[in-house]
Structures are given as structure tokens and as C-alpha cells.
């Protein structure tokens, strides 16, 4: 069996060594133009040329949860695409989002500024029931995040495409549930995949529906958020601020107004990192299962290309 590795912005050597150890007997090589035809591919944001040359693949494994960098390309017809299914990301995402929500709710930014100015001062505690959190996307990551937020007794609601039940979380679904979801939300967390249906979903008219003092946590993709609308709504006082991990252009261009906005906290697309060992174990396990006859349809993380995630 031959496995080809084509991951942009990724140090190939440790992945190749890990994959070789996990799949003894397989030929595993980094892709170069003109490389021999492989059975499986392990990819992250590959160039179109890679997909055009490797049309015979039996399956493509993405070393991330989001597949938007692939669905915007011409994929070889009929080749199944499998994304990471958690692989250690959901606990990181829960940490990140709980941290962002709690930092905002407990006004830790203001306390840090006071301490830096040598001030010993108290703020009136906020009331938790005034800070309902709405999680858009109740998949692998969103569900874990919603459950983690419940552990801190925040009122939590979630929104997904199909109807869901998550203990302690008020669930809304589809277009019919979207407006009620937004108007019940004060802190909005985005954990949707980027698809034509979800692109620009956080824009002026949707963000205006949040409860007064709304706050945005975007940990999904930059394309979900209309940057100028967010800034205008924060500057007008309708929104209290945002924590952003993902951007339309990454790295965030030096002149982008997010960099210096006092009410926006930025991180460099790091909320849930791909963990190499976990990811190799998951991908190799799936390749072994396929080799022993398991059908693609029963693999967790199989992408539905019609839905785009
Ligand atoms: P899943 O596919 O497990 O979950 C996606 C969720 O979004 C599902 O609940 C789905 O609904 C819902 N959804 C999709 N389209 C719509 C729609 N049109 N309307 C309403 N709900 C919709 O994905 P993951 O949880 O694994 O990952 C989510 C995203 O997080 C990834 O696509 C990626 O972009 C981002 N991500 C970011 C990282 C970072 O470091 N910043 C790291 C990892 C992922 P349904 O359940 O009904 O299908
Ligand atoms: C992912 C990501 O999709 O890292 O996994 O953003």
C-alpha cells in the first residue's frame, strides 16, 4: 500500500516517521509533482495539482476537522474524504471557549488593567443568568464546548442543522430556529464548518439580534464573520467585544484593525491544534480498518460532500 503526504505549512518528517511506525509495510512518502500514484493521501490544504495528479486515490485523510480548504478545490470524483474526528481537539476547544467566556464574564481584562495600574479595586459581580451562551454548531467540537460551559452553570443553547438533544442545553435547529437562537444568546460561539450556507453568518443583521452587550467568540473560520460589521457593532456599543482565533486571511495582515482594537482579543488559529500522535493513530487506524474490509461509510469523520462538511 502506498500513502502520500501533502500538507502545506506542516513539518513533514515527524508525520512521515509516525505514519511509517503506525503502518509498517506501507510505502509512505512526501508528495512531489509527478510522484507515483498512491492508495491513500494524508493532506492539509494541498495544491490543486496534487488532486489533479492523484485521481486514483482510494481515500483522502485531512489532518484537520475543517475541510473548507479542500471543498473549494476540484476533488477527484468519487474519492471519499475523511476529516479528523476529535483526535484531541474537543478538549482544547472546550478549554479555549470556556476561558474566553469566563474571562469576559468575570471581567478579567479590567482586573488585569487595574492591577497593572497598581489599583486594588472590586467590580460588581455579574449575574450568570444574564450571560446565556449560544453555540452555533453542535457537532464533535460544539457539543463538547456546550457541555463544558454547562459545567460552569451558564445557560447554554445550541444551534445545528438537524435537531439535536444535548443534556442541559436548549437546542435549536435549521433556519426556523435561528432567530430564536440568536435572540436568546448573549455570548455567541461559532463552531460551524465553513460552507456556502454558513459563510458570513455573523454579519450586521444577525449580530444585531443578540442580546444587548453581546460578545462573539469565533473559533471556526474567518469566513463566518464580516469583520467590518463586528467592528461597527462593537464601536457603536451594541456588542461588548470579541475573542477571535480565526481570520479571513491568516496570518492576520499587519494593517488589519483587529490587531489594535481594545475590545478584541486575538489568538493565531490555535484554539484546537492538530495533535500529531493522536491524528496519526486515528488515520492509521482507519486505513487499517479499510484494508481489512471496513466500508468508508462506517468511518467516523467521513465528509458528506453534498453538505460540504
Ligand atoms: P462537525 O461536522 O462535527 O459539526 C458541525 C456542526 O455544524 C454540526 O452540528 C452541523 O449540524 C452544524 N452545521 C453545519 N452546517 C450548518 C447549517 N447550515 N446550519 C446550522 N448548523 C450547521 O464539525 P466539528 O465540530 O468537528 O468542527 C467544526 C468546525 O470547527 C470545523 O469545520 C473547523 O472549521 C473548525 N475548527 C477550528 C479549529 C481551530 O483551531 N480554530 C480546530 C478544529 C476545527 P448537524 O449536526 O445537523 O450536521
Ligand atoms: C481544523 C483546524 O479544522 O485546525 O482542524 O482549523
Question: What's the CA gap between 95 and 86, in Å, rounded?
Answer: 14
Q: Which ligand is nearest to the CA of 139?
A: 1
The predicted structure's pLDDT at residue 67 = 98
Q: Can you tell me which residue has the cell 479542500?
A: 70
Ligand 1: residues within 6 Å at CB? Answer: 65-66, 89, 137-142, 159-162, 191-195, 197-198, 219-221, 245-246, 269, 271-272, 309
The predicted structure's pLDDT at residue 179 = 98
Q: Which of 221, 272, 301 for mutating ligand 2's site (highest number of atoms within 8 Å of CB)? A: 272
For the whole model, what pTM was predicted? 0.98
- Could you tell me the three cell numbers for 18? 509516525
Instruction: Give the three-state DSSP class for 105.
Output: helix
In angstroms, what is the span from residue 84 Cα to ligand 2's centroid?
9
- For ligand 2, whether the C-beta of 45 sits within 6 Å is no
Q: For residue 246, which atom of ligand 2 is closest to its CA?
A: 6
Taking only the tens place, the pLDDT of each residue in 207-246 is 999 999 999 999 999 999 999 999 999 999 999 999 999 9
The predicted structure's pLDDT at residue 26 = 98
Q: Can you tell me which residue has the cell 497593572?
A: 116
In angstroms, what is the span from residue 222 Cα to ligand 2's centroid?
12
- Render each residue's pLDDT in the chain as its tens digit; 309 residues: 999 999 999 999 999 999 999 999 999 999 999 999 999 999 999 999 999 999 999 999 999 999 999 999 999 999 999 999 999 999 999 999 999 999 999 999 999 999 999 999 999 999 999 999 999 999 999 999 999 999 999 999 999 999 999 999 999 999 999 999 999 999 999 999 999 999 999 999 999 999 999 999 999 999 999 999 999 999 999 999 999 999 999 999 999 999 999 999 999 999 999 999 999 999 999 999 999 999 999 999 999 999 999
**Structural domains of the chain, ranges and CATH numbers in brackets:** 2-87+274-298 (3.40.50.720), 90-266 (3.40.50.720)
Spatial CA neighbour of 271 closest among 99, 125, 107, 137: 99
In angstroms, what is the span from residue 299 Cα to ligand 2's centroid?
19
The terminus-to-terminus CA distance of the chain in angstroms comes to 27
- For ligand 2, whether the C-beta of 90 sits within 6 Å is no
Spatial CA neighbour of 65 closest among 287, 271, 297, 293: 271
Enumerate the H helices of 106-218 as residue ranges. Answer: 108-116, 140-151, 174-183, 204-207
Question: What's the CA gap between 163 and 175, in Å, rounded?
Answer: 11
Instruction: Give the three-state DSSP class for 217.
Output: strand
In angstroms, what is the span from residue 255 Cα to ligand 1's centroid?
30
Listed as own residue / partner, the contacts of 288-292 with beta carbons closer than 8 Å and 24 or more positions apart are: 288/23, 290/58, 290/59, 291/1
Q: Which ligand is nearest to the CA of 301?
A: 1
In angstroms, what is the span from residue 65 Cα to ligand 1's centroid?
8
- Could you tell me the three cell numbers for 50? 496534487
Catalytic residues: 221, 269
The predicted structure's pLDDT at residue 78 = 96
Spatial CA neighbour of 218 closest among 297, 163, 272, 160: 272
Cα 278 from chain centre: 17
Amino acid at each position: 500500500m502506498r500513502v502520500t503526504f501533502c500538507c502545506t505549512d506542516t513539518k513533514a518528517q515527524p508525520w512521515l516517521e509516525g505514519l511509517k511506525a503506525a503502518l509498517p509495510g506501507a510505502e509512505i512518502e512526501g508528495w512531489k509533482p509527478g510522484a507515483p500514484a498512491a492508495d491513500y493521501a494524508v493532506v492539509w490544504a494541498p495544491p490543486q495539482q496534487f488532486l489533479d495528479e492523484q485521481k486514483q486515490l482510494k481515500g483522502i485523510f485531512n489532518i484537520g476537522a475543517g475541510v473548507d480548504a479542500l471543498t473549494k478545490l476540484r476533488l477527484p470524483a468519487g474519492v471519499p474524504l475523511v476529516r479528523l474526528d476529535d483526535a484531541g481537539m474537543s478538549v482544547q476547544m472546550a478549554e479555549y471557549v470556556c476561558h474566553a467566556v469566563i474571562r469576559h464574564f468575570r471581567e478579567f481584562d479590567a482586573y488585569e488593567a487595574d492591577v497593572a495600574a497598581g489599583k486594588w479595586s472590586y467590580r460588581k459581580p455579574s449575574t450568570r443568568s444574564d450571560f446565556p451562551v449560544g453555540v452555533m454548531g453542535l457537532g464533535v467540537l460544539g457539543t463538547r464546548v456546550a457541555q463544558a460551559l454547562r459545567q460552569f452553570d451558564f445557560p447554554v443553547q445550541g444551534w445545528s442543522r438537524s435537531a439535536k438533544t444535548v443534556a442541559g442545553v436548549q437546542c435549536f435547529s435549521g433556519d426556523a430556529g435561528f432567530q430564536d437562537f440568536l435572540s436568546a444568546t448573549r455570548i455567541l460561539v461559532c463552531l460551524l464548518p465553513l460552507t456556502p450556507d454558513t459563510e458570513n453568518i455573523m454579519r450586521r443583521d444577525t449580530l444585531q439580534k443578540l442580546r444587548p452587550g453581546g460578545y462573539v467568540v469565533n473559533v471556526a473560520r474567518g469566513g463566518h464573520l464580516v469583520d467590518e460589521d463586528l467592528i461597527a457593532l462593537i464601536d457603536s456599543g451594541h456588542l461588548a467585544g470579541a475573542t477571535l482565533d480565526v481570520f479571513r486571511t491568516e496570518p492576520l495582515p499587519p494593517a488589519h484593525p483587529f490587531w489594535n482594537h481594545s475590545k478584541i482579543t486575538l489568538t493565531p488559529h490555535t484554539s484546537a491544534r492538530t495533535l500529531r500522535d493522536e491524528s496519526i493513530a486515528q488515520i492509521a487506524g482507519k486505513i487499517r480498518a479499510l484494508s481489512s474490509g471496513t466500508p468508508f461509510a462506517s468511518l467516523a469523520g467521513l465528509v458528506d460532500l453534498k453538505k460540504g462538511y
